[in-house]
């Protein structure tokens, strides 16, 4: 510390980082549940997390059998995406990264859309049943989504609307300049933006400790003048409530929030990755103990007469949904050469019209 030098330093400011949790690793409540957490809602959140996992498993299976492209599953992180989606209103806008399946399913994106996209067809981003047509497709280039999310929030503020934007990323994305630039803009203009970071401990093979020496990811908001919070990302109730609080604040002109949700990636980065090359078995085993679905199931079993029969009925129902979505995806007509050209511009330049015809003729 340079303040150990023999001078008088005056303290200018103090900062605090807080954490929110309602249900711990043993499925015990650490405080009274928030108002939204009725029996019915908890069951619904559980169902959504299981739906996310079922659909992910199907996507990986499709990829392994040559019927889908590289796919990023969200195993072990379902509480984060599910909590975000449940907290958002239709009028809010979502700017996802690529591990938000649980949110997408609540934004009108169907599994067949997700399979279509990762199956290699941009038509998967059409989202015919979108709850908000302004929702962005997944951002593949890391952290770039925070910038246009801030732009949408800027537009909402300019128009005097009372909605907000949610953007997501992994902890690796918080090393990018775009993350800091977007937070800085959001702080400067007190924009209605909520950034949720899924700190799943891995950026492909690089562990969290090699990513930053920042004690928390949440505190990265402080420098930008952005309210920040860490939540237990395996506690869907905490994620849902934290995002709801942040959205409520954003919608009532209270400014942006950065939420770090702690989780653990219990899967390969994508189907093109091999977790076993770099993950420590013991860590993985410990992380499995904390995973969100098992945690909620234990709670429901202890407090809501959840049992194997109910569990099996639920999984079988979700599975048939997912099977049906996969079949719809597989039955979809494949994109045509026209699709490659037709949406490049509102008015296709002559040159591209010519190239389209040449492409069709095999040149």
Q: Which is nearer to other proteins, 89 or 313 (CB)?
A: 89
Query: Is 363 near other proteins (CB under 8 A)?
Result: no
Instruction: Please report whether residue 346 would count as binding other proteins according to CB under 8 A.
Output: yes
Q: Is 226 in the site for other proteins (CB under 8 A)?
A: no
Q: What is d(CA 95, CA 291) in angstroms, rounded to the nearest whole number?
A: 25
Determine the angle formed by the axes of helices 39-64 and 292-303, rounding to 10 degrees.
140
- The verdict on 127 binding other proteins (CB under 8 A) reads yes
C-beta closer to other proteins: residue 252 or 335:
335
User: Does the protein bind other proteins through residue 36 (CB under 8 A)?
Assistant: no
Among 9, 70, 90, 126, binds other proteins (CB under 8 A): 126
Shortest distance, CB of residue 341 to other proteins, whole angstroms? 9
Does position 333 bind other proteins by CB under 8 A?
A: no
Active site amino acids: 265, 269, 278
Q: For the CA atoms of 2, 6, 8, 9, what is the dihedral angle to 10 degrees?
A: 0
- Pairing between strand 193-199 and 202-203? unpaired
Q: Which residues contact 227 (CB under 8 A, 6 or more apart)?
A: 221, 246, 249, 255, 256, 257, 258
Residue 2 main-chain phi, psi, to 5 deg: -70, -15
Q: Is 190 in the site for other proteins (CB under 8 A)?
A: no
- Judged by CB under 8 A, the residue of 182, 247, 261, 322 near other proteins is 182
> Which one among 9, 349, 357, 360 touches other proteins, defined by CB under 8 A?
349
Angle of CA points 270, 262, 81, to nearest 5°: 60
- Residues in Cβ contact with 190 at an 8 Å cutoff, skipping those fewer than 6 apart: 157, 253, 254, 255, 256
Other CB atoms within 10 A of residue 36 CB: 14
User: In DSSP terms, which residues pair with 221 in a beta bridge?
Assistant: none
Q: How far is the CB of 357 from other proteins (least distance, A)?
A: 15
Residue 188 is a binding residue for other proteins (CB under 8 A): yes
Residue 211 in the binding site for other proteins (CB under 8 A): no
List residues binding other proteins (CB under 8 A).
93, 95, 122-123, 125-127, 133-134, 136-137, 139-141, 144, 146-156, 158, 165, 177-178, 181-182, 184-185, 188, 339, 342-347, 349-352
């Amino acid at each position: 510390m340079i303040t150990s030098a023999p001078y008088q330093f005056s303290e200018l400011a103090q900062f605090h980082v807080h954490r929110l949790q309602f249900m711990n690793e043993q499925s015990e409540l650490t405080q009274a549940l928030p108002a939204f957490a009725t029996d019915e809602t908890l069951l619904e959140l559980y169902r959504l997390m299981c739906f996310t996992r079922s659909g992910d498993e199907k996507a990986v299976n499709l990829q392994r059998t040559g019927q889908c492209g590289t796919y990023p599953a969200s195993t072990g992180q379902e509480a984060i995406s599910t909590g975000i989606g449940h907290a958002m209103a239709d009028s809010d806008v979502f700017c996802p990264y690529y591990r938000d399946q649980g949110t997408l399913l609540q934004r009108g994106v169907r599994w067949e859309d997700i399979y279509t996209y990762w199956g290699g067809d941009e038509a998967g981003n059409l989202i015919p049943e979108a709850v908000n047509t302004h929702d962005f497709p997944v951002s593949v280039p890391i952290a770039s989504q925070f910038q246009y999310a801030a732009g949408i929030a800027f537009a909402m503020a300019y128009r005097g609307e009372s909605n907000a934007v949610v953007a997501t990323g992994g902890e690796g994305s918080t090393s990018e300049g775009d993350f800091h630039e977007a937070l800085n803009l959001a702080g400067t203009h007190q924009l209605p933006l909520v950034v949720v970071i899924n700190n799943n401990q891995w950026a492909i093979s690089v562990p969290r400790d090699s990513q930053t020496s920042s004690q928390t990811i949440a505190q990265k908001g402080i420098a930008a003048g952005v309210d920040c919070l860490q939540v237990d990302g395996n506690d869907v109730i905490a994620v849902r409530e934290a995002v709801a609080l942040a959205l409520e604040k954003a919608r009532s002109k209270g400014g942006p929030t950065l939420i770090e949700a702690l989780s653990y990636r219990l899967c390969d980065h994508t189907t093109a990755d091999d977790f076993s090359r770099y993950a420590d078995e013991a860590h993985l085993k410990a992380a499995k103990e904390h995973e969100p679905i098992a945690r909620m199931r234990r709670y429901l079993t202890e407090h809501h007469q959840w049992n194997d029969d109910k569990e099996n009925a639920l999984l079988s129902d979700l599975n048939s949904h997912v099977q049906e979505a996969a079949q719809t995806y597989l039955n979809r007509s494949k994109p045509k050469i026209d699709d490659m050209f037709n949406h490049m511009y509102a008015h296709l330049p002559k040159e591209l019209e010519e190239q389209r015809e040449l492409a069709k003729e095999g040149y």
